[in-house]
Structure 1
């Protein structure tokens, strides 16, 4: 690969000649030392260089690679993890990867397959003797030397997610690292507990791939591959019988049932060097035409897109992967369709909804607004914004409420925030209903102020402090008590325009926002904190109309849609879930659906009919699940890098991308329909500025509104 304009001329004294590959975390170059020695130089992307957690993991990669340098690995020549852009140089290995070899020439014949297996097993034995677990053995991490020598023809590379026994860098709760379909089942369900047995499982999968051209758990996407790995039986093809028995043991679901790397080496070394005539050694049929599975987690993998993970709140949905970088964009704005949402640490309790019938604002033209005028102020906290037909409304710690013209993005008016210092004051995204805008009060006492959205006139106030507030089925619901550990709290409902109190009740609930929209003028209330279950409540009177018992266990009610409740089960209060429950709130009947791995919830799902769409926040993908059958349908390509919650509008799914474009997808297949042009120049932006958003794009007639770290923007819909 040729060098690009911004590529360095040298790194650490090594002259850079060309690119070997590029990934989400950095670039790998072919370099030359002063004496002419060829090296492979990994250089971290600038945007990750300032992240302490990433630097710690990069140091771990260097230490692990140095620890296991031997005949079957690429030795570390030089490194500087403390450089402005951390880098590592290893001996350059001339030759293709196993993945390239099989793709270009087909499955290996028996002699090459036997040699590959013995050398990989020996490499793993030495890696494990050094008390390192590789955790990402796959065909693209196996290099085949162009010239075979006495020291072997195989090199294992990329220790980016390896773990040393004495390492201080640990996989965080719920984080899944590796590359389906070559990962072991426990890497999905128990990532904290992985040991050397995961590498043996991967070795078995790699041998099947080398012999047949496909992995034993092949699928059209990584999500389905993971499901097959955990729940399915391996597809081994027609292997040599002795090899078949060995591979089956390597692919055992339980780690304790697998042989050690040393046992694998001994067994392979004992197999005949040549097969008797008629003995099958590779698959009888060609590999299925399935797109290659995207890499999920190596922090710096050559020529493959890698995914970052942002530390999630305890919300519902994503397969948590990589996890090297944390923190949300301080300046992130937010746009929702008429329904309230929350950027605070509290859970957004209502799932994204379809857009009301709005029309394009008169005089509209594409615009973007970075809302950065106060960023020189060290106390500046970025605004949180909501879109309505009346306007775009933003709140921050500095300004209680700002109205942007939805046609131009220009500021129409602002309501200044008191400079009074109040402990624990938080910013609440404005809630908009029928031309009335609700925000935390301008006096910073955390009450509720109601403004006319067109004129900015104050309509009414509710003294603070209060807890959460939400607009559901025509009433403003307010938690009158602050958040605390109590199992009960007082709630009240108000007429939105006049502030007239409609009712108040004390509810036994552990949820800070227990209400969800029900049919007609009703609400569902999560009363599981007391003796109740899920109650149906009259929105105008607060009267209980009926209730059903919820499924048992430590379940989080992720969302309610069309009379159906969706719960996620927490594992030992860890914030991750391996299964969820779907309950009919009329009959009370529920059923359980297992996930193929433990997921770390990040936001409520979007439900349309029998399909649930889940934003995989950590892996930056969108997953589609058939909740009626309990099966995964599709996941978006990791090349796309989905960067927001999805929205469903007019038969399409819309998601925001890192470059501030908006992507339209077919909801049935996940295929790309089209995308808009980016609204901001994101070149050189840090991770914090480009952090994924929990807020979906909004479609108003033929105009899209979106949000990203750089700001809020509006563009024409995808044609």
Structure 2
């Protein structure tokens, strides 16, 4: 692979010649030492350089790779985990990966297959003797040397997620550690408690792939492959008969039922070198040890909870009311969250009605044309700074930052229509919140930096009313503006008030005790749901205009996060040991109080609550940048987007399609039944050479108004025609 413009010329004194490949953690280069020795240099991505936990994991990778250097692994030559961009150099192994070999030439013949299995088993035996668990053995991590040799034809590479048995480095929350469909079931169901048995399971899967050109749990996407691994039986295809007992034992669901790597090696050594003379009279059968494999227990990344912080922490934003129809996802942080009902939500209706006032050409405003606007600071202060928070709306795109209190971008051209300046007063702990738009009124942080609220006419920019700060969160639900009257603190007791959006008239005020940071959810026909767990208990239904309690049901225990409420049903995520990742949901009927549980084949990061549409729940797995679809009624997964696709925003649902923003600032339309791509817009920004920080996933889903899409991403905001 040719070098790119921003690739380094040298790393640690090694001259870079070309790219070998790239992955989630970094880039691997072919390089030369001063003496001309060829090495493979792995350089971690810039986005991880300042991550203390990642540096700890990279040190662990270096230590693990050095610990197991031997005949069947690539030895470590040099490394620097403290460099600005940490790196590690290993001996360069000329050859191709097992996946490349099978793709080019098809399944291996018996002699090559037997040799592959024997050498992989011996490599795993040495790795496990060094008290290391690889955890990501797959065809692309198995190198086949050109011409083989007396010292073996196989090398096991990439110890990026391996773990030493005596390591205390914690696993990053939400990371799916491995590569479906070659992972063991416990890597999905109990990712923090895996031992050497996972490598034996992967070895069995790799042998099936080498013999048949497919994994034993093949599926059209990684999510279904994971489901098959946990719940299904392996597809062994035309696996040679002598291997069937051994591979079946390796693929046992329970770790204790699998043989050890030493037992696998012994069984493979007993197999005939040539099958042409006929099948052996007695096939060797592996009798796995019944002693449970010593599990290298891996701690979760603890998110220390208290009574008011039991919810995910990464991006505590309440966007679902700020944007037309909000979205859903699973990951580690309660962020933007949207519920789209079977009937269009009132906010969507109001957007479309407002758009029709000036409609021209099928829903686009008069004079509309595609536009994009970078959010960079300039001298006159009319643009936002990087990191601005923007909310698209039919009346415009409304942005705020620490420099500018509120700016309206014209929805037709993207030009700055009006701006409300922010006070230059220095305030400790001041933070920006996304503008909230409701029926032609936009709500934002007060311009005096007091952390109060100001309401402006979305068309003219006229200030309508204000509340002095400091105040907590605010959002529009069921036709009222709900305001947390206290700043977020450690107290369980909180005061909330509801205001008429356009006049600012206070409608009611309540003091309540709740373990939820955001206890209110939109209900049907002018009602609200209040999560009162931690106080009076249960989920209460309120009249949004009067605050009067209309009913209440007993809720599940306080250890669950109420992720979303849709169509009279509550969806709770169950955190794994307060880690911020979830492997199951509890679903509750808010009329009868009945509950049931739905399981996922792996633990996911609810970066925002799920988007529910009919009987389907769409989940944005922030940690893996994938979108998952789950049939709630039948309790089964439907599809997931490929992790190679890299979904970069929460999803939105309009007119029978799902929309998501991609890293290159294009917008993708997906069939919600199958996850298949329907259409994709052209990118609005040139993202070549952009860092991860500039292209970070967005909490704002695309907005569709008529036939025009509005998107928000790291590089800026943009408007394009819907091509679906």
**Correspondence for 1:248:** 248
How many pairs were matched up? 680
Paired residues for 1:597-636 under 5 Å = 597-636=602-641
**Correspondence for 1:539:** 544
Indicate the RMSD between aligned Cα atoms, in angstroms.
3.6
Q: Does 1:483 align with 2:488?
A: yes
**Correspondence for 1:265:** 265
Q: Structure 1-normalised TM-score? A: 0.85
Selected match of 1:550 from 555, 567, 588: 555
**Correspondence for 2:323:** 337
Q: Deviation at 1:582?
A: 2.0
Paired residues for 1:513-592 under 5 Å = 513-552=518-557, 554-592=559-597
Alpha-carbon separation, structure 1, partners of 2:24 and 2:316? 19
- In structure 2, do the counterparts of structure 1 residues 5 and 380 end up closer, same or farther at CA, with 3 Å as the change threshold? closer
Alpha-carbon separation, structure 2, partners of 1:335 and 1:518? 13
> Secondary structure in 2 aligned to 1:128?
helix
**Correspondence for 1:393:** 398
- In structure 2, do the counterparts of structure 1 residues 50 and 487 end up closer, same or farther at CA, with 3 Å as the change threshold? closer
Selected match of 1:366 from 366, 370, 376: 370
Paired residues for 1:189-228 under 5 Å = 189-228=189-228
Q: Structure 2-normalised TM-score? A: 0.85
Alpha-carbon separation, structure 2, partners of 1:62 and 1:209? 29
**Correspondence for 1:61:** 61
**Correspondence for 2:298:** none
Q: Deviation at 1:190?
A: 2.8
Preserved CA contact (<8 Å) 2:326 2:611: no
Paired residues for 1:300-449 under 5 Å = 337-338=323-324, 347-348=335-336, 350-351=338-339, 355-356=348-349, 357=352, 358=355, 359-373=363-377, 382-449=387-454
- In structure 2, do the counterparts of structure 1 residues 372 and 634 end up closer, same or farther at CA, with 3 Å as the change threshold? same
Write out per-residue CA displacement over residues 640-688 of structure 1, whole angstroms, 9 at most, x where no aligned residue. 2110001112222111111212122222222222222222222332222
Alpha-carbon separation, structure 2, partners of 1:55 and 1:573? 23
Write out per-residue CA displacement over residues 583-631 of structure 1, whole angstroms, 9 at most, x where no aligned residue. 2223333221111122222111112222111112121111111111111
Preserved CA contact (<8 Å) 2:181 2:225: yes
Alpha-carbon separation, structure 1, partners of 2:310 and 2:236? 38
Deviates more, 1:646-655 or 1:351-360: 351-360
**Correspondence for 1:170:** 170
Alpha-carbon separation, structure 2, partners of 1:491 and 1:54? 40
**Correspondence for 2:718:** 713
Preserved CA contact (<8 Å) 2:442 2:456: yes
Preserved CA contact (<8 Å) 1:120 1:154: yes
Q: Deviation at 1:409?
A: 1.9
Alpha-carbon separation, structure 1, partners of 2:195 and 2:592? 45
Preserved CA contact (<8 Å) 2:322 2:436: no
Preserved CA contact (<8 Å) 2:39 2:91: yes
Q: Deviation at 1:465?
A: 2.7
Write out per-residue CA displacement over residues 13-33 of structure 1, whole angstroms, 9 at most, x where no aligned residue. 656555443445444444455
Selected match of 2:663 from 658, 672, 683: 658
- In structure 2, do the counterparts of structure 1 residues 336 and 491 end up closer, same or farther at CA, with 3 Å as the change threshold? closer
Preserved CA contact (<8 Å) 2:660 2:669: yes
Alpha-carbon separation, structure 2, partners of 1:139 and 1:341? 36
Structure 2 alignment gaps of length 5 or more: 284-300, 356-362
Alpha-carbon separation, structure 1, partners of 2:197 and 2:93? 27
Deviates more, 1:455-464 or 1:37-46: 37-46
Deviates more, 1:453-462 or 1:115-124: 453-462
Alpha-carbon separation, structure 1, partners of 2:320 and 2:491? 31
Alpha-carbon separation, structure 2, partners of 1:376 and 1:68? 59
Preserved CA contact (<8 Å) 1:647 1:654: yes
- In structure 2, do the counterparts of structure 1 residues 511 and 30 end up closer, same or farther at CA, with 3 Å as the change threshold? closer
Paired residues for 1:96-175 under 5 Å = 96-167=96-167, 169-175=169-175
> Secondary structure in 1 aligned to 2:217?
coil
Alpha-carbon separation, structure 2, partners of 1:562 and 1:375? 49
- In structure 2, do the counterparts of structure 1 residues 552 and 104 end up closer, same or farther at CA, with 3 Å as the change threshold? same
Q: Deviation at 1:250?
A: 2.2
Q: Deviation at 1:335?
A: 11
Alpha-carbon separation, structure 2, partners of 1:135 and 1:144? 20
Alpha-carbon separation, structure 1, partners of 2:683 and 2:590? 42
Write out per-residue CA displacement over residues 538-563 of structure 1, whole angstroms, 9 at most, x where no aligned residue. 11222222222223462111111222
Preserved CA contact (<8 Å) 1:340 1:431: no
Write out per-residue CA displacement over residues 47-82 of structure 1, whole angstroms, 9 at most, x where no aligned residue. 655655555544443333232221111223444555
Paired residues for 1:37-48 under 5 Å = 37-45=37-45
Preserved CA contact (<8 Å) 2:375 2:386: no
- In structure 2, do the counterparts of structure 1 residues 375 and 84 end up closer, same or farther at CA, with 3 Å as the change threshold? farther
Alpha-carbon separation, structure 2, partners of 1:219 and 1:128? 30
Alpha-carbon separation, structure 2, partners of 1:183 and 1:640? 20
- In structure 2, do the counterparts of structure 1 residues 349 and 525 end up closer, same or farther at CA, with 3 Å as the change threshold? farther
**Correspondence for 2:673:** 668
**Correspondence for 2:278:** 277
Alpha-carbon separation, structure 2, partners of 1:645 and 1:427? 20
Preserved CA contact (<8 Å) 1:624 1:635: yes
Alpha-carbon separation, structure 2, partners of 1:278 and 1:465? 80
Q: Deviation at 1:485?
A: 3.7
- In structure 2, do the counterparts of structure 1 residues 530 and 269 end up closer, same or farther at CA, with 3 Å as the change threshold? same
Alpha-carbon separation, structure 2, partners of 1:338 and 1:97? 47
Alpha-carbon separation, structure 2, partners of 1:230 and 1:440? 48
> Secondary structure in 1 aligned to 2:664?
coil
Write out per-residue CA displacement over residues 253-277 of structure 1, whole angstroms, 9 at most, x where no aligned residue. 3333332212221222233334462
Alpha-carbon separation, structure 1, partners of 2:589 and 2:625? 31
Q: Deviation at 1:385?
A: 1.6
**Correspondence for 2:683:** 678
**Correspondence for 2:360:** none
Preserved CA contact (<8 Å) 2:310 2:516: no
Alpha-carbon separation, structure 2, partners of 1:572 and 1:13? 44
Q: Deviation at 1:708?
A: 1.0
Alpha-carbon separation, structure 2, partners of 1:40 and 1:524? 57
Q: Deviation at 1:637?
A: 2.0
